[in-house]
Amino acid sequence: MQPDTEAELLGVGGDRHDAVAEVRQGGLLHLLKGVEIVVNLGPRHDMASYRWLLTTTAPAPSQSGNRLALTRVTRGRRNEGGMQPTPMIRLAVAATFVLTACTSSQAHPASPPAGPPKPSSTVSALPGGSRAIDLTSLSGRIVFDNFQDVWSINADGTGLRRLTRSPWPEFQATWSPDGRFIAYRSEPNGHPEIWVMDADGSGQHRLTRDGGFPAWSPDGSMIAYAPGGGPSGMSGIAIMNADGSGQRRLPHTDGGEYPSWSPDGKRIAFNSNLSGGPLMYIVDVDGSRVVDLSGVGDGGQVAWSPDGRSILFASSRDHPDNYRDIYAMGPDGSGVRRLTNAGGETPAWSPDGRYIVFSAGGLFVMRADGSGVTSLPIEGVGEVSFPDWR
C-alpha cells in the first residue's frame, strides 16, 4: 500500500493478540494483520468519539513502514443503553491517528469484518501541547463509570476502587458538594432511575423511578436531573430535594439533558436534542427565564466552572462527521475556545478550576487552557465516561 495516503477503514476484528484491519485504498481491499489503530466509534449513552486502542502484543517487523491517514469508517452500527443506533463515525485526520501496517498487505476479496475491537482504558498519543501534568501534585477524588459500574480514583492516579457491582448498568455518577455522597443513574428494571450512595459505595438507595444525568446543587440541598418521560410523566430538566422529595419540572426545558448548576445555585445550564443535534440553554431555577445559547451551535455535556465565568461543553462544531472536542465559553455564549484537538467527552472541572478531567476512551486531565493532557492509570476498567472531581 502507498505510504502516507488516505484510506478507508471498513472494519476491525480480532483481539489484542490477533488484530486484523480491513482497509480499502484506490479501489482495492487490503487485509492488514498486526496493526495498531485508534478508532473513533459512534455514540454510547449519547456520547461520541471514543477511542479504542487495538494493538498486537508482539507485532511483526514492518516490511514497508506504510503509514495511512484514515479518513472514514464506512460500516457498522451500535445500539447500546437504549439509545438509537448511530453510524460509526469519521476518524480525525491528524498525525496521531495513524494505522501502521506491520506486515505487507495484499488485495483480498471483500469479507465481513469480525466486529469492533475490545475497548482499552488507554489512548495513545493524545496531543497535550506542553509538558504533561505531574499527577502527584493533584488532590481530590474523581468518580467515573465504565457504562456498567461506578468507580473512583484519587486525582493523583492512586486508589482505584469499584463502587457498584450490580448486574445492571450503573453510571453517570456525580459527587455531592461535601464529598459524602454520590448520585448516579441505575437501571435495575431496564429504565433509568436516580440512586444515591455513600462515597465508599455503601448505603445505595433509590431517589426516583425515572431519570438520568443527576447534578447536585452547590449547597447540596437539591439535585437536578433529566426525567426522560418515564413513570413520572415528566421530561426535560427537573429538580428535587436531595432526599428525592419535591420533584418538579422546569418549564421550557423540553428534551433537556446534562444539567449543570451555576456556582450561585440560581441557574442551570443544559443541552436539548429536540432539534436533532444538541443545543445549549440556561434556565433560572425558578423557571422564570431561559437563555438561548443555540447561536453557539452544536454543543452539549455542559459543565459550569467553579468561578462561574466559563462553561465547558463538547461539540462536533469543527468536525462535520460528529467526532467531538472539548470547548469553553462564557455563560453568555461569548469567547468560544477549543481546548482539545484529538477528541474528548464529558468534561468536568477540578474543585479549584485549574484543571479539567475528561473522557476519551480512557480518563485524562488537562490544564484549564487545554495544555498538558495526561492519562490517569485505569488499566483493566475498560472504556470510561462521566468523570466528576471533588
Domain edges within the chain: 5-101, 135-389
Sheet with 20-25, edge to edge strand ranges = 28-33, 20-25, 5-13, 67-73, 98-101, 35-41, 50-54
271-313 pLDDT tens trace: 998 777 789 999 999 988 999 999 999 899 999 999 999 999 9
Helix extents (H) in the chain: none
Per-residue pLDDT band for 231 (boundaries 50, 70, 90) equals low
Q: If you average pLDDT over residues 35-57, what whole number do you get?
A: 33
- Phi, psi (degrees; rounded to nearest 5) at 270: -160, 170
DSSP lists the bridge partners of residue 335 as none
What is the pLDDT, as a whole number, of residue 187?
94
Q: If you average pLDDT over residues 252-277, what whole number do you get?
A: 92
Distance CA 28, CA 190 (A): 44
Distance CA 198, CA 193 (A): 17
A 10 A CB-CB count for 121 gives: 19
80-113 pLDDT tens trace: 222 222 222 222 222 222 333 333 333 333 333 3
What is the pLDDT, as a whole number, of residue 355?
99
Q: Which three cell numbers stand for residue 175?
A: 459527587
CB 144 within 8 A of CB 162: no
What is the pLDDT, as a whole number, of residue 346?
97
Distance CA 86, CA 76 (A): 9
Distance CA 117, CA 100 (A): 16
A 10 A CB-CB count for 43 gives: 21
Q: Which three cell numbers stand for residue 218?
A: 452547590
The angle formed by the CA atoms of residues 38, 43 and 45, to the nearest 5 degrees, is: 125
Is the predicted pLDDT of residue 35 greater than 50, yes or no?
A: no
Residue scoring higher pLDDT (234 or 136): 136
Distance CA 78, CA 75 (A): 10
DSSP lists the bridge partners of residue 338 as 327
CB 193 within 8 A of CB 211: yes
CB 301 within 8 A of CB 321: no
Least confident among 169-173, 228-232, 299-303, 329-333: 228-232
Per-residue pLDDT band for 385 (boundaries 50, 70, 90) equals very high
Distance, CA of 390 to chain centre:
18
CB 304 within 8 A of CB 258: no
Is the predicted pLDDT of residue 4 greater than 70, yes or no?
A: no
127-169 pLDDT tens trace: 444 689 999 999 999 999 999 999 999 999 999 999 999 999 9
What is the pLDDT, as a whole number, of residue 201?
98
Q: Which three cell numbers stand for residue 80?
A: 447500546
What is the pLDDT, as a whole number, of residue 45?
32
Q: If you average pLDDT over residues 185-192, what whole number do you get?
A: 92
Report which residue type is found at 341: N
Q: If you average pLDDT over residues 168-181, what whole number do you get?
A: 97
What is the pLDDT, as a whole number, of residue 274?
76
Q: Which three cell numbers stand for residue 189?
A: 428494571
Least confident among 269-273, 315-319, 327-331: 315-319
What is the pLDDT, as a whole number, of residue 328?
98
Mean pLDDT of the residues in the chain: 74
Of these ranges, 61-65, 230-234, 252-256, 364-368, the one predicted with the greatest mean pLDDT is: 364-368
Pairing of strands 5-13, 67-73: parallel
Residue with cell 429536540: 274
Least confident among 5-19, 174-188, 328-342, 367-381: 5-19
Judge residue 113's burial from the number of C-beta atoms within 10 Å of its C-beta, 0-12 exposed, 13-18 middle, 19 or more buried. middle
- Phi, psi (degrees; rounded to nearest 5) at 354: -85, -20
Residue scoring higher pLDDT (232 or 365): 365
CB 270 within 8 A of CB 281: yes
CATH class of 135-389: mainly beta
What is the pLDDT, as a whole number, of residue 145?
96
Least confident among 24-38, 219-233, 276-290: 24-38
What is the pLDDT, as a whole number, of residue 57?
27
Per-residue pLDDT band for 225 (boundaries 50, 70, 90) equals very high
What is the pLDDT, as a whole number, of residue 100?
34
